[in-house]
Amino acid sequence: MQHLDEGTIHSWLDGALSADEAARVEAHVKECPQCAAAVAEARGFIAASSRILTALDNAPRGVIPVAAPKKRVDPIVWRVAATLLVVAAGTLVVFRNGGREARIATTSADSSQNAFTATSQNASTAVAPTAPAGDESTRMTAESTPQVRKPGNTARATTIGSLQPNTGPTEKSAAKVGAANASPPTLVARSPQVVDQAEARVPASQPSIPSRENQKVAVPVGGAVAGSTSTPSGYAGAPASIPQALAPIRLRGVSALDAAGEQLSLKKVRTSRILGATVTLYEVAPGDTVTFTEPVSVQLESVVATGLSSVRARTSQSGKAAASPTKRADAAVVSAPDSQRPTAVVGALAGASSAPVPATRVEVANGVTTISWVDTTTGNVLKLSGRMPETQLQQIKIRIERERAAEAAKKKP
């Protein structure tokens, strides 16, 4: 019998031969050592190729089970990271935007002078190039649409009322932004009697406000309007009589607060610089802290303010500004989860540097009260926030201002 060919051996080993053929091959292999060797070699090839093909199959299984969990976890981690980033960025933007908006609102509603001074003076000095743009547009709105004066009045009254701690934050902010919409500067400067009406409306629109609180609340208003007498602005020549009448109230209020402020202990816990602002954490009582925010980089702030002011102008002109206070409240929720540590609000803006009078704005979000005012020497908007009533914050503010003045005095000589 002829020797077996390789194909037959493989067929036989694969069990593909018929019973007859298989028997014939088997018989031959037993007798033929040469074919037995060939069969052994074929077995080797079959086993080896099978192993190679298995390696081909197993390769992904050998690699992927180890790598797959990592790959599956990674996207989630990245997604979470991305979400956090977006939320953080959004918070920052909303805060800055909101802070600017509300500040302008307060400025125009309470003092009416800051915005105008900024317009008339900054245009020439160019200290804060953004202020003229933003305020210009505000003024334009007021001038071109006289019918918004009425809402402006209402907003003004509400802003004053909003200093009450028990008022809802959204409502308050909406009112403030509404004031920005209407831009009362024109109102005060051109027709002083309108101010009268606005003042008169306070009790009417906010009947729940206790009158004593109201007086204290009127402090910034009086101060602001009083400032108008000394401002060399073309718009602000008229209302001399009203500010003078209100000025004493302001002084009384400040001194009262000042006296109360003496009793507070004020301990600097730590100071940190974040995003162009110095944030100081003061401990006023064990476990009770306030956050004091002060912008440090004027150039940077100017750049930031450019975008914001245009956004604000657009928003207020289109009347959609009411949406932002809600956003700001949300942002406060995000950034103030720790009850012990008040929110650090980085809303510091280098605004109307020439504003002669510090107007105070109050904002309550999530139990955290934030007051902001314009520093008379630097023109920066300073912010103080903590979990306490606004009156207490005002006292702390006075303390801080005094300390700052003392520090500045030390540095000078």
Partner 1 sequence: MRRRKHLALLAEQERDEMVEPEETTIERAQEAAMARKAVDALAERDRLALLMREEGLDYNEIAEALELSPGSVGTTLSRARRRLVESYEALQKSREEREKNAAS
Which of 39-47, 257-265, 319-327, 347-355 is the region at the interface with partner 1 (rule: CB under 8 A)? 39-47
Closest CB 288 distance from partner 1, rounded Å: 54
Closest CB 37 distance from partner 1, rounded Å: 15
Candidate list 1, 26, 34, 51; residue touching partner 1; CB under 8 A: 51
Q: CA–CA separation, 294 vs 300, rounded Å? A: 13
Q: Looking at beta carbons only, is 52 or 409 nearer to partner 1?
A: 52
355: alpha, beta or left? (left if phi > 0; alpha if psi -120 to 50):
beta
Q: Looking at beta carbons only, is 49 or 265 nearer to partner 1?
A: 49
247 makes contact with partner 1 (CB under 8 A): no
Block residue for tokens 């009362």? 184
Q: Looking at beta carbons only, is 7 or 287 nearer to partner 1?
A: 7
Kindly give the residue spans of alpha helices, DSSP state H, lying in 3-129: 6-13, 19-31, 33-106, 113-117, 123-125
Site string for partner 1, 64-83 (x = CB under 8 A): -xx-----------------
60 makes contact with partner 1 (CB under 8 A): yes
Candidate list 27, 34, 62, 271; residue touching partner 1; CB under 8 A: 62
Query: Sheet of 267-274: strands edge to edge?
Result: 267-274, 277-285, 288-295, 381-386, 368-374, 360-365
Q: DSSP for 332-380?
A: HHHH---SSS--------B--TT--S--EEEEEETTEEEEEEE-TTT-B
Kindly give the residue spans of alpha helices, DSSP state H, lying in 192-336: 192-205, 211-227, 241-261, 298-318, 323-335
50 makes contact with partner 1 (CB under 8 A): yes
Give how far Cα 356 sits from Cα of 121, 151, 215, 395, Å: 12, 27, 22, 21
Structure tokens at 130: 């953004």
Q: Do 98 and 327 form a contact (C-beta atoms < 8 A)?
A: yes
23 makes contact with partner 1 (CB under 8 A): no
Burial class (CB in 10 A: 0-12, 13-18, 19+), 334: middle
Closest CB 56 distance from partner 1, rounded Å: 4
Q: Looking at beta carbons only, is 55 or 245 nearer to partner 1?
A: 55
Q: CA–CA separation, 106 vs 339, rounded Å? A: 27
Q: CA–CA separation, 345 vs 388, rounded Å? A: 15
35 makes contact with partner 1 (CB under 8 A): no
Which of 62-70, 136-144, 368-376, 398-406 is the region at the interface with partner 1 (rule: CB under 8 A)? 62-70
63 makes contact with partner 1 (CB under 8 A): yes
53 makes contact with partner 1 (CB under 8 A): yes
Which of 13-21, 136-144, 174-182, 220-228 is the region at the interface with partner 1 (rule: CB under 8 A)? 13-21
Block residue for tokens 């006023």? 284
Q: Looking at beta carbons only, is 62 or 234 nearer to partner 1?
A: 62
271 makes contact with partner 1 (CB under 8 A): no
Candidate list 14, 143, 196, 407; residue touching partner 1; CB under 8 A: 14
Q: How far apart are the first and last CA of the chain?
A: 121
Q: Looking at beta carbons only, is 15 or 207 nearer to partner 1?
A: 15
Residue 35 contacts by C-beta under 8 Å, 6 or more apart in sequence? 3, 4, 9, 28, 29
Q: Do 409 and 131 form a contact (C-beta atoms < 8 A)?
A: no
26 makes contact with partner 1 (CB under 8 A): no
Closest CB 78 distance from partner 1, rounded Å: 23
Which of 55-63, 70-78, 201-209, 396-404 is the region at the interface with partner 1 (rule: CB under 8 A)? 55-63
Q: Looking at beta carbons only, is 46 or 92 nearer to partner 1?
A: 46
Candidate list 58, 83, 193, 241; residue touching partner 1; CB under 8 A: 58
22 makes contact with partner 1 (CB under 8 A): no
Positions in the binding site for partner 1 (CB under 8 A): 5-16, 42, 44-56, 58-63, 65-66
